[in-house]
């Protein structure tokens, strides 16, 4: 298999792991900037990893999300709830149909560039709160992308059934330094350590037996 895939790369733990695991199949990495506080922090790492692996990387701004979409993720750090990642109160952080939008754009980019697949790093821990991370969504969106393109672009989401800890274990084998990834929803220079994604990140790294070098505020 040649390099025939586009990856949606945030610069967080999951998509960075996927980038390293499948780097010899990936021709293009796309980072979307939808105006969240964490976007800019993540992008720096996304770019760094692509440079290291020699993968073309572009950033696509989606300003309309910040302007029109309702989500605490697009507001100020004080609007981000604290609590466990799978708690119902994390629901305010949902950016409506974000994965649908990113996949649709990545699908058009794939078809425009003669690439056959789009990779996304959703995982099982996302399913409780985020409808556009669930297997039913992945299957339907995959069918839509295939039917809607000449080259039947395929959606690959190989982490759909994995836990965050499973992903961290893969990253450990690959030798990824997770201090060079960013997760915090509050978007500060240093991870807050308390928001849902910070908690989820810390627990996964600990469960995978990784010595977490990430600085946390608390």
Which residues of the shown chain bind a second copy in the complex (CB under 8 A)? Answer: 58, 60-61, 63-65, 68-71, 94-101, 103-105, 107-113, 131-132, 134, 136-137, 140-141, 143-150, 153
Question: In 10 A of CB 218, how many CB atoms?
Answer: 8
- The residue (of 90 and 169) whose beta carbon lies closer to a second copy is 90
Residue 109: partners with Cβ closer than 8 Å, 6 or more residues away = 6, 28, 30, 115
Minimum separation from the CB atom of position 181 to a second copy (A): 25
Residue 212 beta carbon to a second copy: minimum distance, rounded to whole angstroms: 32
Neighbours of 212 (CB within 10 A): 15
Give the nearer residue to a second copy in terms of CB position, either 24 or 63: 63
User: Residues 6 or more apart from 136 whose CB is under 8 A from it?
Assistant: none
Rank residues 107 and 176 by Cβ distance to a second copy and give the closer one: 107
CB of 40 to a second copy, least distance (A): 18
> Distance between CA 193 and CA 213 in Å, rounded?
13
Minimum distance between the CB of residue 95 and a second copy, rounded to whole angstroms? Answer: 7
Judged by beta carbon, residue 143 or residue 190, the one nearer a second copy is 143
Nearer to a second copy, 76 or 113 (CB): 113
Query: Smaller CB distance to a second copy: residue 19 or 95?
Result: 95
Give the nearest distance from C-beta 104 to a second copy in angstroms.
4
* Count of CA atoms in the C-beta half-sphere (13 A) of 132: 14
Which residues does residue 7 pair with via DSSP β-bridges, in sequence order?
A: 29, 119
Q: How far is the CB of 210 from a second copy (least distance, A)?
A: 32
Q: Which long-range contacts (CB under 8 A, 24 or more apart) does 97-104 make?
A: 97/132, 98/34, 98/65, 98/132, 99/130, 99/132, 99/133, 99/137, 99/141, 100/132, 100/137, 100/141, 101/32, 101/62, 101/65, 102/8, 102/30, 102/32, 103/8, 103/141, 103/145, 103/155, 104/145
| Least distance to a second copy, CB of residue 43, Å | 15
Q: Of the two residues 18 and 107, which places its CB atom closer to a second copy in the complex?
A: 107
């Amino acid at each position: 298999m040649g390099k025939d895939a586009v990856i949606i790369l945030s610069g967080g733990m999951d998509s960075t792991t996927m980038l390293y695991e499948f780097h010899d199949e990936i021709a293009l990495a796309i980072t979307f900037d939808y105006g969240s506080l964490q976007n800019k922090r993540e992008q720096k790492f996304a770019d760094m990893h692509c440079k290291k692996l020699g993968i073309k990387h572009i950033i696509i701004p989606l300003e309309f999300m910040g302007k029109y979409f309702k989500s605490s993720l697009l507001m100020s750090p004080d609007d981000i709830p604290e609590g466990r990642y799978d708690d119902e109160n994390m629901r305010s952080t949902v950016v409506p149909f974000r994965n649908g939008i990113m996949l649709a754009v990545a699908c058009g980019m794939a078809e425009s560039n003669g690439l056959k697949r789009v990779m996304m790093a959703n995982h099982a821990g996302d399913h409780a709160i985020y409808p556009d991370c669930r297997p039913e969504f992945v299957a339907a969106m995959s069918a839509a992308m295939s039917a809607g393109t000449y080259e039947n672009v395929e959606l690959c989401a190989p982490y759909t059934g994995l836990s965050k800890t499973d992903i961290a274990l893969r990253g450990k084998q690959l030798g990824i330094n997770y201090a060079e990834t960013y997760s915090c929803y509050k978007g500060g220079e240093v991870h807050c350590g308390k928001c849902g994604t910070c908690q989820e990140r810390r627990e996964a790294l600990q469960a995978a037996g990784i010595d977490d070098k990430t600085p946390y505020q608390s």
